[in-house]
Structure formats: C-alpha cells, structure tokens
Amino acid sequence: MDRRKFLSASATVAATVSTGFALPGTARAVHTFDASRTRRVGLIGTGWYGKVDLFRLLAVARDEVDVVALCDVDKKMLSEAARLTAMRQKSGKEPALYSDYRKLLAERALDIAIVGTPDHWHALPMIEACKSGADVYVQKPISVDVVEGEAMVAAARKYDRIVQVGTQRRSTPHLLEARDKYIKTGRLGKIGTVAIHSFFSGRHRLSKEIVQPPENLDYEMWTGPAPMLPYHRNVHPVKWRAFIEYGNGAIGDLCVHFFDLARYFLDLGWPNRISCSGGEFVDTENVATVPDTQDAVFSYDNLEVTWTNRAWGVNLDKDYPWAMVFYGNEGTLKVNLAQYEFFPKKGAVEKGTFLKEDISDLERREERFSEPTLGATRRHLKNFFDCVKTREKPVADILEGHISSATCTMANNAMSLGRSLTLNTETGRPVGDEQATALMAREYRAPWVHPTADNI
C-alpha cells in the first residue's frame, strides 16, 4: 500500500486527540425501567449480521423482549428485516421503521439497542444509545479509530450502561472446551507464540465501475462521517470492507476475533509493542484501499501474538483458512470456528468439533447461514441479556472490545508509519510518538463531530 495514500485515508485530527485517556465518573441513565417487564429492543443497521444478532436475541429471550423499531438507510433492506422480525417475535408485529437512528432513539425509549451497521457507523449510534438510557450490543471492531473507541468506553461508564461487543468467540463452546483441556490444565506447557492467520483469497475484489447509488439507499447518510467516495457497484451491503475509509481491512474484521480470544484465554491487556508490515502487493489493479498482504506482531512480556493475512494465492491448510494456533513447549493447539486439534509433544492428536444445536427452519433459511457459529452467537446474546437484568459486566465488555479493536487499528497505523509503536500498557496510548498519536483519530466529514472521551 502506498504510504501517502494510507496516511491520507487515516487523516489526522490532532485537535481531538488528548494526551491521555481518562474515564468520566459514572452518571445516572436518562431513563430507567422496571426490571420485570418486557424489554423494548431496537436494531440500528439491518444488514446480514445485524439481523443475525437480533434473531439470536429473539431465540434466547423471545418471551422477554419486544422489537419495537428498526433503523437503516436502505429502504429495501429495512422493510425485509421488518417482515422477518415479525415472523420471529412473540407479538407477530412489524417494528416501526426509521432511516435516522437519532429519531429512533428520541422516540422509542429503548431498553436495548443493537448496533449492526458498517464499522464507520459504530461509534455515534452506540454513544447516543447509551445517552438515551439503552444497554447496547455493538458489533466488532467497535470503532474505526482509537479515539472513537475511547469515547465509547467512556459513554458506557458515564451513563452506567451494559455494553457487549460481538466478539462471540468468547462464548463458543468448543473453543472454551479447548481452553479448559489444554491451556488451563497446563498441557500446552509454556506458551511463547500465538499465531492468527487469514488466507481468504480475493475477499474484497470489487468492480471498478462507478455507478449511481440505488434508489433504495440514502448514500449521503450511509457515508455519514466517512469521506464521500464515488459509489462502486456492489460496495453496499458487504464489499465496503474493501475500503480503509469504512473499516480496517482483514485485521479489523478477522484478526480482532481471535486476537480478542487470545487475550481472553491468556489474560492479556494492552501489548507493549506493535509492529506491522504489508500493503497491496498482488492485486494491485483492484480499487480496494486495504492491504492484501499483512504481517503484524503484538509483543507482550515473554509472548508474541502474530497476525498473517494473504488475500491471494492457495491455502495449503484447507480446513483452517482462518484460524489461531497456540504454540507451547509441550504441544500445539490449533482452533477455528468449527473445530480444534491438539498436537502433544508425546502421544496421539486429540480433536474436537463445534457443539451441534437444535436449528429451526427459519434459522436454516437465513442469509449466509452458518451452523458452527449459531450456538456461539446464541450464548453471547444470552450472556448479554442476562447481564442486562443483573447489571453485571458481560463476557465481552466494551473495554475488552476496545483494547482488541484499537490494538488492531494501531497495527495498521504502525504499517503506515513504517515503524513499531511502543504503548503505555495502562492507557493504550503510543509513547513519545506524536505522529502515531495523531493517527488515533480520523477526520470526520461535516457536519458530523468526532466523539472523544471528553465530549460525550
């Protein structure tokens, strides 16, 4: 990737970046609700995974929730989501429909808001939902830049909200089983390296053809705080991930899941140092602005977590195109969404697979249905809903999501700067590096205002 191109895409907003990250004190929510009554739910972003999260919530809490509102800037997607929601919820009613999340939050007094928008739209709706008094389930990565993430943590704490991040590997049964059998028992021995990889060839190949946005899409609102780019055919609803203007590439989409799981299994916080290299090396004719080749190292005391991405070529390990491997001095543990394998120094290989679940006909007909991930998402939403009732922190609390998301973001920043970043492991801020600090917040397109921990 051209360094100047990347730095431009990650434009600095030095004025919004303070020298430290301090959380405001806890404040009372705008409104409170009787814990015994049905929770009012709204979904902001009704695309594929927004619906997945909403429908899993309905699966685990159907008798205790009422989906009262949906919001999307795509009218066609919105109306279809309303129809599918009515088929699943107890009342059988279609929710009210909105094109602006601010109006939804002002009118509907939600107990729970699910944010399933593209990545560049995670921060603002989540913060406003917290201000309105709603608890929030927000997809990963929680933010596109680091300062957004800091503001989201601050909002959750200031307004005393339960916020779960959609890093559902923390709730995946066979992965937790592998942790208990091989990491907690010490059978892996001393772990020196955790390696994460993605070998999905051509994931973001996108047409160069520039067209008018479809009539059903409000492209101005869809773009929101991001730079206004020409509309490439098929960029919506999935291939926006090809642009660094809307997300963080494969490291923000895929690495964050397993990096977060490594942190969870090994009780890791912020790394000491981040280094990263890569760029657009092979598919150079593509219009994508995210790297097709990337290697990152997240350094801890006596441990390295590494990330490797190749969006081209042939994957030699076809059962593990996206996976994580724990290397210990007594064995090696390889895991992905469907299975795990343990290779001990002595003895036979041990294997495990995902937990089979009861699946409804409606679920089997869902867009891009995935059986191995069904149970994990159900359990992750159940953990969130249980915590909404008990007010305990969920397994993927917003601070954990911020650390995992921001670390991946800063790897991109290290790549663009061409040098390693040393972090303050208390604050997650670069140490003694003004350029790296400036890259922690991107420029927002007017009239949208970049949130910070101080202005929420």
pLDDT tens for each residue of 117-151: 999 999 999 999 999 999 999 999 999 999 999 99
Q: Give the pLDDT confidence score for residue 1 in this predicted structure.
A: 42
Peptide bond into 237 cis (omega under 30): yes
Query: Do 413 and 436 form a contact (C-beta atoms < 8 A)?
Result: yes
Write down the mean pLDDT value for the chain: 92
Peptide bond into 230 cis (omega under 30): no
Residue 356 lies in a domain: no
Residue 111 lies in a domain: yes
Tokens of 47: 């695309």
Euclidean distance between CA atoms 206 and 156, whole angstroms:
36
Q: Answer whether residue 4 shows pLDDT above 80.
A: no
Residue 200 lies in a domain: no
Residue 454 lies in a domain: no
Q: Answer whether residue 454 shows pLDDT above 50.
A: yes
Residue 359 lies in a domain: no
Q: Give the pLDDT confidence score for residue 37 in this predicted structure.
A: 79
Please state the rounded mean pLDDT for residues 220-230: 98
Q: Answer whether residue 301 shows pLDDT above 60.
A: yes
Q: Give the pLDDT confidence score for residue 206 in this predicted structure.
A: 80
**CATH code, 54:** 3.40.50.720
Distance of CA 453 to the CA centre of its chain: 20
Question: In this prediction, what percent of the chain has a pLDDT beyond 90?
Answer: 87
Query: Which pLDDT band, with edges at 50, 70 and 90, does 6 fall under?
Result: very low
Q: Answer whether residue 16 shows pLDDT above 80.
A: no
Q: Give the pLDDT confidence score for residue 46 in this predicted structure.
A: 98
Q: Give the pLDDT confidence score for residue 446 in this predicted structure.
A: 97
Nearest Cα to Cα of residue 354 among 197, 176, 188: 176
- The strand pairing partners of 182, in sequence order, are none
Q: Give the pLDDT confidence score for residue 283 in this predicted structure.
A: 85
Q: Give the pLDDT confidence score for residue 84 in this predicted structure.
A: 98
Q: Are strands 303-310 and 331-335 parallel, antiparallel or unpaired?
A: unpaired
Q: Give the pLDDT confidence score for residue 188 in this predicted structure.
A: 98
Please state the rounded mean pLDDT for residues 147-164: 98
| Residue 180: partners with Cβ closer than 8 Å, 6 or more residues away | none
Q: Give the pLDDT confidence score for residue 284 in this predicted structure.
A: 86
Cα-based angle 324, 327, 331 (whole degrees, multiple of 5): 115
The count of other CB atoms within 10 Å of the CB of residue 171 is: 22
Please state the rounded mean pLDDT for residues 94-100: 98
Q: Give the pLDDT confidence score for residue 15 in this predicted structure.
A: 37
Please state the rounded mean pLDDT for residues 347-366: 95
Residue 389 lies in a domain: yes
Q: Give the pLDDT confidence score for residue 286 in this predicted structure.
A: 85
| Terminal-residue alpha carbon distance, the chain | 34
3-state secondary structure the chain: CCHHHHHHHCCCCHHHCCCCCCCCCCCCCCCCCCCCCCEEEEEECCCHHHHHHHHHHHHHHHHHEEEEEEECCEHHHHHHHHHHHHHHCCCCCCCEEECCHHHHHHHHCCCEEEECCCHHHCHHHHHHHHHHCCEEEECCCCCCCHHHHHHHHHHHHHCCCCEEECCHHHHCHHHHHHHHHHHCCCCCCCEEEEEEEECCCCCCCCCCCECCCCCCECHHHHHCCCCCCCCECCCCCCHHHHCCCCCCHHHHHHHHHHHHHHHHHHCCCCCCEEEEEEECCCCCCCCCCCCCEEEEEEEECCEEEEEEEECCCCCCCCCCCEEEEEEECCEEEEECCCEEEEEECCCCCEEEECCCCCCCHHHHCCCCCCHHHHHHHHHHHHHHHHHHHHCCCCCCEHHHHHHHHHHHHHHHHHHHHCCCEEECCCCCCECCCHHHHHCCCCCCCCCCCCCCCCCC
Euclidean distance between CA atoms 419 and 276, whole angstroms:
8
Q: Answer whether residue 17 shows pLDDT above 50.
A: no
Q: Give the pLDDT confidence score for residue 36 in this predicted structure.
A: 63
Q: Are strands 112-115 and 163-165 parallel, antiparallel or unpaired?
A: unpaired
Query: Which pLDDT band, with edges at 50, 70 and 90, does 203 fall under?
Result: low
Q: Give the pLDDT confidence score for residue 13 in this predicted structure.
A: 41
Buried b / exposed e along 53-87 (16+ C-beta atoms within 10 A) = bbbbbbbbbeebbbbbbbbbbbeebbbebbebbee
Euclidean distance between CA atoms 170 and 396, whole angstroms:
7
Q: Give the pLDDT confidence score for residue 3 in this predicted structure.
A: 40
Which residue range forms the structural domain that includes residue 86? 17-168+377-398
Q: Which tens digit of pLDDT belongs to each residue from 376-433?
A: 999 999 999 999 999 999 999 999 999 999 999 999 999 999 999 999 999 999 999 9
Q: Answer whether residue 215 shows pLDDT above 80.
A: yes
Residue 453 lies in a domain: no
Q: Answer whether residue 450 shows pLDDT above 60.
A: yes
Count the domains in the chain: 1
Nearest Cα to Cα of residue 397 among 184, 213, 220, 140: 140
Q: Give the pLDDT confidence score for residue 34 in this predicted structure.
A: 59
Please state the rounded mean pLDDT for residues 250-274: 98
Token pair 């929680």: residue: 142
Residue 150 lies in a domain: yes
